[in-house]
């Protein structure tokens, strides 16, 4: 097996795979025709397919097994970004642990590609307790694509560590963002409709319960209370028992809200408002997961469903601010860059005010000669960058702070004002022939609230979570 690479590589996949022309090859180096059909992404084992159930000891303690992350009818592929989770919930320790992964037998191994094309690993995350996820992102550089008609992207080998059950699933959505799993086709873009099938592991006797809940058929509006009904869940070998044989309900909404855990009386039906942060309403794609545990065997069952929360008309402008030097000498100029991004779904007119704390407050004008920082941010071109210069001649040595504030003009209301402003500071030092300034004792430079503006594969934004475990698991859908 390959050595386990646990280094996270912050590369922007969309840039990496943008090519002017695409040449299509299979493993033998021959050109391909695009495959037809509904793309499928599966977790399979060569012996058990997607149902890894065996109580004979073949999946007993210490045994190992391998699953493949397999594509079918996916056509021509340029890259992928797939995260596989093998814990039903962070409250439940899975009876298996990842020991290695391998791309060498997969369709992205580079065999048969011309010399100008080669596979490139964008990131590999192998996360154990408490999130239990393996995420790999790979791309073919050089303008080539590989055949996604039928083959593995990569394989994962697990070792059995306990006697119980768990699921092995492709992570689909979280924090409002839908994972862009496969990249390819003639447009070299994300495949939008993919049939996804996970796997189930069990090495103990007993019949696991069936988790089943109802969800809204139409997309709920942002900020609305969404009802989920899990009373359809049942343990088939104890259907007449209390709560149809279900002892525990565990709900996870892949947002900033905590899990809901309880018995049938207090957790079989839940009412949920999706949040991006504890104070910001959430919109977009979320994976809702219900895990039920039966009362006779303690076995878990699971259902995962992706729901879409309709954002409606959303106005959201964010900015980041940076300086070209943290330390300058009196008489130098300090360059400041302000990047403003329209993160909503409406065209907006924006007013940008940039100033620094000299003689009270001194306003700065853009280097392009514009009198002010007013401009339009359309959805089709949602980013603009402006340069400013801070003069320091005749300034006293101390720490100076530059502040930028973006305001949406008109009657629109910004849905998240927490990212509308940013500050950056620099230290101004005296020249050799300058008179020293008494009582100069500033020891820190404050750089506040920079907004992450890079669009990573799928434009995934990783939300703030209540705990380190939440943060780690949701980063995997970024």
Q: How confident is the model at residue 321 (pLDDT cuts 50, 70, 90)?
A: very high
The Cβ-side half-sphere exposure at 27, using a 13 Å CA radius, reads 11
pLDDT of residue 219: 93
- Three-state secondary-structure class, residue 242: helix
- Do 181 and 222 belong to one domain? no
- Do 21 and 67 belong to one domain? yes
Decide if 465 is inside a domain. Answer: no
Q: Which range among 26-40, 158-172, 362-376 shows the weakest confidence by mean pLDDT?
A: 26-40
Decide if 157 is inside a domain. Answer: yes
State percent of the chain over pLDDT 90.
68
DSSP per residue over 8-39, as a string?
-----HHHHT--SS-EEE-TTS-B-PPP-S--
- Do 145 and 238 belong to one domain? no
Decide if 178 is inside a domain. Answer: yes
Q: How confident is the model at residue 439 (pLDDT cuts 50, 70, 90)?
A: very low
pLDDT of residue 461: 33
Q: How confident is the model at residue 54 (pLDDT cuts 50, 70, 90)?
A: very high
- Do 274 and 386 belong to one domain? no
Is 0.85 surpassed by the pTM of this model?
no
pLDDT of residue 165: 97
Q: Which range among 6-15, 158-167, 300-309, 397-406 shows the weakest confidence by mean pLDDT?
A: 6-15
Exposed, middle or buried by CB within 10 Å (0-12, 13-18, 19+), for 1?
A: exposed
Res 280 pLDDT > 60: yes
Res 438 pLDDT > 60: no
- Do 373 and 338 belong to one domain? yes
- Do 306 and 321 belong to one domain? no
Whole-angstrom distance, CA of residue 448 vs CA of residue 420: 12
- Do 408 and 270 belong to one domain? no
Q: Which helix (H) or strand (E) holds 16?
A: helix 13-16
pLDDT of residue 371: 55
What digits encode the pLDDT tens for the residues 288-306?
A: 999 999 999 999 999 999 9
Which residues, 6+ apart, have CB-to-CB distance to 374 below 8 Å? 349, 350, 351, 352, 409
* CATH for 110: 2.60.40.680
Res 387 pLDDT > 90: yes
- Single out the residue in 167, 182, 202 at which a domain terminates: 202
Whole-angstrom distance, CA of residue 17 vs CA of residue 34: 18
Decide if 476 is inside a domain. Answer: no
What digits encode the pLDDT tens for the residues 8-42?
A: 333 333 333 333 233 333 333 323 333 446 899 99
Decide if 464 is inside a domain. Answer: no
Q: How many domains does the chain have?
A: 3
pLDDT of residue 370: 63
Res 190 pLDDT > 70: yes
pLDDT of residue 37: 66
Whole-angstrom distance, CA of residue 351 vs CA of residue 448: 20
- Do 381 and 282 belong to one domain? no
- Do 100 and 225 belong to one domain? no
Q: How confident is the model at residue 198 (pLDDT cuts 50, 70, 90)?
A: very high
- Do 18 and 157 belong to one domain? yes
- Do 176 and 71 belong to one domain? yes
- Do 132 and 271 belong to one domain? no
What digits encode the pLDDT tens for the residues 233-269?
A: 999 999 999 999 999 999 999 999 999 999 999 999 9
Res 345 pLDDT > 90: no
Res 360 pLDDT > 80: yes
Phi-psi region of 338 (alpha: psi -120 to 50; beta: other; left: phi over 0): beta
- Single out the residue in 265, 280, 312 at which a domain terminates: 312
Full domain range(s) for residue 275: 207-312
Query: Token pair 């409250």 is at which residue?
Result: 91
What average pLDDT does this structure show over 101-124? 94
Decide if 421 is inside a domain. Answer: yes
What digits encode the pLDDT tens for the residues 75-108?
A: 999 999 999 999 999 999 999 999 999 999 999 9
Residue 309 · residue 282 · CB < 8 Å: yes
Decide if 97 is inside a domain. Answer: yes
Res 471 pLDDT > 60: no
- Single out the residue in 202, 233, 252 at which a domain terminates: 202
Decide if 217 is inside a domain. Answer: yes
How much is the mean pLDDT over the chain?
84
pLDDT of residue 372: 63
* CATH for 387: 2.60.40.10
């Amino acid at each position: 097996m390959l050595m386990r690479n646990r280094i996270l590589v912050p590369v922007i996949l969309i840039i990496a795979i943008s090519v002017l022309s695409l040449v299509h090859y299979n493993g033998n180096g021959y050109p391909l025709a695009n495959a037809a059909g509904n793309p499928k992404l599966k977790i399979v084992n060569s012996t058990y397919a997607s149902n890894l159930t065996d109580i004979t000891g073949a999946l007993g303690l210490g045994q190992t097994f391998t699953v493949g992350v397999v594509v079918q009818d996916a056509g021509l592929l340029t890259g992928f970004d797939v995260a596989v989770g093998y814990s039903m919930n962070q409250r439940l320790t899975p009876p298996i642990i990842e020991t290695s992964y391998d791309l060498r037998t997969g369709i992205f191994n580079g065999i048969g590609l011309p010399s100008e094309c080669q596979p490139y690993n964008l990131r590999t995350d192998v996360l154990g307790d408490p999130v239990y996820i393996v995420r790999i992102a790979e791309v073919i550089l050089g303008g080539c694509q590989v055949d996604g008609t039928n083959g593995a992207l990569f394989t994962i080998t697990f070792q059995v560590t306990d006697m119980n059950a768990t699921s092995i699933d492709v992570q689909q959505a979280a924090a409002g963002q839908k994972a862009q799993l496969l990249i390819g086709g003639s447009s070299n873009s994300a495949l939008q409709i993919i049939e996804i099938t996970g796997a189930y592991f069990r090495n103990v006797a007993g019949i696991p319960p069936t988790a089943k809940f109802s969800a809204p058929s139409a997309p709920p509006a942002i900020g609305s209370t969404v009802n989920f009904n899990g009373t359809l869940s049942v343990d088939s070998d104890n259907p007449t028992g209390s709560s149809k044989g279900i002892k525990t309900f565990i709900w996870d909404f892949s947002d900033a809200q905590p899990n809901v855990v309880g018995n049938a009386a207090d957790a079989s039906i839940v009412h949920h408002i999706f949040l991006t942060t504890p104070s910001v309403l959430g919109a977009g794609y979320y994976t809702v997961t219900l895990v039920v545990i039966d009362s006779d065997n303690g076995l878990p069952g699971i259902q995962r469903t992706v729901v879409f929360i309709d954002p409606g008309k959303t106005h959201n402008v964010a900015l980041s601010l940076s300086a070209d030097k943290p330390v300058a000498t009196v008489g130098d100029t300090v360059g400041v860059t302000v990047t403003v991004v329209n993160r909503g779904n409406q065209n907006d007119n924006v007013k940008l005010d940039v100033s620094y704390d000299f003689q009270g407050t001194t306003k700065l004008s853009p280097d392009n000669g514009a009198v002010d920082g007013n401009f339009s941010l359309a959805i089709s071109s949602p980013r603009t960058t402006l340069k400013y210069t801070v003069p320091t001649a005749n300034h006293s040595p101390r720490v100076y702070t530059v502040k930028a504030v973006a305001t949406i003009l008109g009657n629109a209301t910004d849905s998240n004002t927490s990212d509308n402003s940013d500050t950056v500071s620099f230290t101004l030092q005296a020249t050799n022939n300058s008179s020293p300034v008494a009582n100069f004792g500033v020891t820190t430079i404050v750089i506040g609230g920079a907004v992450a503006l890079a669009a990573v594969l799928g434009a995934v934004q990783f939300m703030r979570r209540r705990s380190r475990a939440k943060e780690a698991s949701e980063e995997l859908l970024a």
